[in-house]
A and B are shown apart, each in its own frame.
Chain A
Amino acid sequence: MHLQSLLALGIALALPLGGAPASPQESQIAYRVKVGFLFNFLRFADWPPSALPADQPFRLAVSADDATYAFIESTFAGKSVDHHAIIVERASLREDRPAPHLLFITRSAPPEMAQAARRYAGHPVLTIGETDGFARRGGILNFVQVDEAVRFEVNLAAAERAGLRISSRVSKMAILVRPEP
């Protein structure tokens, strides 16, 4: 079951890497794993209490096409982490919008989202991308494809700057990257 899902994931991920746009079906399969990872990241990352007071919901901003966004939103619907209800919202870099707790910038995100890392630098926002070099350019986590398996890179310096504590249990599994100078 696990192997099959991995294979399916591999096939699903191979296609967008090949440059062809992913079909909604394929996107769902590929993002099922990544959403699982996202959920796990929530369990292994700690936000400063000031950024996530006890009675506040957990704001998860997603920058993706509609299908992917819908899939993610449906997946997290009704879920909570550490007694914080998870609220999925569309990512926005606007200054008047408060910074979310987690920002997932998918491959289908608009180009201006490339500024997100810079926009939220120093803010307790767990920025997660899935494009090559995202972590090196200031993102905290970045999904990568290694030997047909989904792995992720982590930029611990960025996480530290953001005031987030990434559990060593995650960083152990991650590919550690250094930010570009």
Chain B
Amino acid sequence: MTVAHLSDAELVATLDRQLASRPGTEMEEHLSGCSSCRERLTELEVQSEALGRWFDIDEQAALPTPAPRLRPATSRGPRPRYLMAAGVVLFLGLGLSPLRGLVVQWMGMAPRSNTESPTGGVAPQTHRFDFDVGDGPFELSITGQPQGLLVVRLEATEGGSIGISGGDGTETVSLGPASAAIEVGPTEGTRIEVTLPAELAALNVTVAGDRVLPEWTPTATASPRTWTLRLGGG
């Protein structure tokens, strides 16, 4: 035996069949003649296998489906145009960038491990409103405070595009298929401005949420250019 003992780092590299600072042949030669290093290598091997069993237990536990959550956009990187034209439903506004909205949507689309509502048994609710609209922009106001996130989805019954802006008004997008959605966080007094093309005559507004109170009943009132959705039981 002509070379120095193997360091723990070299032994781990040997265990994992990785390149180390010394040539493998040199380390093998040392190991073949050094019982102390062989014992340490065996010890590390036993520990590594035991740790693997701990990780296996963790592996068997089902991961919960990630909950889509909204946070202010932190970056303003370039936005691929294809995303805008793809016709996917984007979650917009309230500081949520289109890209983050897309990821939130993916996370929401991931398979759920169970069908239970996060609030413990409150079934998802969907309320649909059909409005006739004329030309020009109108304003959709949401009053009251939802218990969790709500999705307000706008669908045109005829062809055309819908532009939505929300929050500080910095996010506006037009989608090919006449459908767009916006998530509303637990903030009172959210205002969503909707711009419709002149040729569009009717619009469906769907409000859905799975974290709302069971008695939640939105009502809608319409003035010539303003609709109000009132959240809560009142």
User: Is B a genuine binding partner of A?
Assistant: no
Footprint of B on A, CB under 8 Å?
none
Q: Point out residues on B near A: beta carbons under 8 Å.
A: none
